[in-house]
């Protein structure tokens, strides 16, 4: 069970994922979570660093799709502003939305990574399909009450896990 919750990479934020490194790993597509990964929870504005990072991905030919458990209105607002496709009400960690996102960007399980701030939705979902998974630190501490509950379970998992050296899991 723990192995399904273990990300392949730990980073502080989206913009610390280097497109060049992704390319070296053979990753051609990213399925990216929205809340507390791209923007603070339920916020519409995307920071300048993140905007630049998305542009950088384009230059490297890495395709992106946002996959979020949030509503259509919420997800479309941010994804359209960034000019990237999206899947809403994704019900992660269920597999369907990940398959949908792969179809949208036209990449496969072996050359696509899942990026997100939560173990029980993003990382678990990606690992269930055998995709490469990248955990980012949540942008802010403000979150939905259900997520706050899951953070308690995450803490237990991190405690039980052998974390790689330098892995940051908490702000």
Q: How far is the CB of 116 from Mg ion (least distance, A)?
A: 5
DSSP state, residue 35: B
Size of the site for Mg ion (CB under 5 A): 5
Which residues within the stretch 104-163 sit at the binding site for Mg ion (CB under 5 A)? 117
Which residues within the stretch 51-110 sit at the binding site for Mg ion (CB under 5 A)? none
106 backbone φψ class: left, alpha, beta (φ>0; ψ -120 to 50): left
Listed in sequence order, the residues at least 6 apart from 51 whose beta carbon sits closer than 8 Å to its beta carbon are 82
**C-beta of 33 vs 132, nearer to Mg ion:** 33
**C-beta of 20 vs 152, nearer to Mg ion:** 152
User: What tokens appear for 53 in the block?
Assistant: 């990072």
User: What tokens appear for 54 in the block?
Assistant: 């998305």
**C-beta of 37 vs 112, nearer to Mg ion:** 37
Q: How far is the CB of 38 from Mg ion (least distance, A)?
A: 9
Are 11 and 17 in contact by the 8 Å Cβ rule? The answer is yes
Residue span binding Mg ion (CB under 5 A) among the ranges 26-34, 52-60, 87-95, 163-171: 26-34
Among 33, 39, 69, 135, binds Mg ion (CB under 5 A): 33
Listed in sequence order, the residues at least 6 apart from 162 whose beta carbon sits closer than 8 Å to its beta carbon are none
């Amino acid at each position: 069970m723990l192995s399904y919750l273990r990300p392949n990479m730990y980073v502080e934020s989206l913009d610390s994922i280097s497109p060049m490194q992704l390319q070296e790993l053979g990753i051609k597509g990213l399925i990216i979570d929205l809340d507390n990964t791209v923007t603070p929870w339920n916020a519409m504005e995307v920071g300048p660093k993140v905007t630049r990072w998305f542009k950088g991905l384009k230059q490297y030919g890495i395709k992106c799709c946002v996959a979020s458990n949030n509503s259509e209105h919420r997800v479309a607002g941010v994804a359209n502003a960034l000019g990237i496709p999206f899947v809403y009400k994704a019900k992660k960690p269920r597999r369907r939305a990940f398959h949908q996102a792969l179809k949208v960007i036209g990449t496969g399980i072996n050359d696509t990574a899942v990026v997100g701030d939560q173990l029980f939705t993003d990382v678990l979902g990606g690992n269930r399909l055998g995709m490469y998974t990248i955990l980012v630190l949540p942008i802010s501490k403000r979150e939905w009450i259900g997520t706050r509950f899951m953070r308690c379970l995450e803490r237990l998992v991190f405690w039980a896990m052998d974390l790689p050296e330098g892995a940051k899991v908490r702000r």
